[in-house]
Amino acid sequence: MGYHVPFIAPKGKDGGIDIVAYRDPLGALEPRIKIQVKHKSEPSISVNEIRSLMGLLNKTGDIGLFVTSGTFTSDSMKEARVSQTHLRLINIDDFIVLWQEYYPKMTDEDKKMLPLQPINFLGVNE
């Protein structure tokens, strides 16, 4: 998506932030994006996990992304919607749509993480 990613947390305790991204290489332009990633299909991401990330968005211009391979509870979705903090929830379906949309612009190294293979269908001449 064109962001600079100077920080990706190693596996283990990360203090609630897995990825930090900026619009420019120096991180001087807003927004600063703080991302929490959870790989779990069950149970859904709770409202408490959402609130934990929101508590880390303390600087004006911070945006939070919570990405999960699972789903979000209705309470967690409501919390993100009504929050004064800018927070976007991305479930597995949203992630796949974004991956497909930005795949052509990715580096070969990034594409290797989750490769896509195009499938062509025979069209009908009318």
pLDDT in tens, 51-93: 999 988 877 788 999 999 999 999 999 999 998 889 999 999 9
Q: What are phi and psi of 96, to 5 degrees?
A: -65, -40
Q: Do 76 and 89 touch, CB atoms closer than 8 A?
A: yes
Q: Which two tokens stand for residue 65?
A: 């992304």
Q: Which two tokens stand for residue 21?
A: 């991204």
Mean pLDDT value of segment 96-122: 90
Reported CATH class of domain 4-111: alpha beta
Q: Do 15 and 1 touch, CB atoms closer than 8 A?
A: no
The whole-model pTM stands at: 0.83
Identify any residues that bridge with 23 across adjacent strands, giving them in sequence order. none
Q: Which two tokens stand for residue 109?
A: 């190294």
Does position 12 have pLDDT exceeding 90, yes or no? no
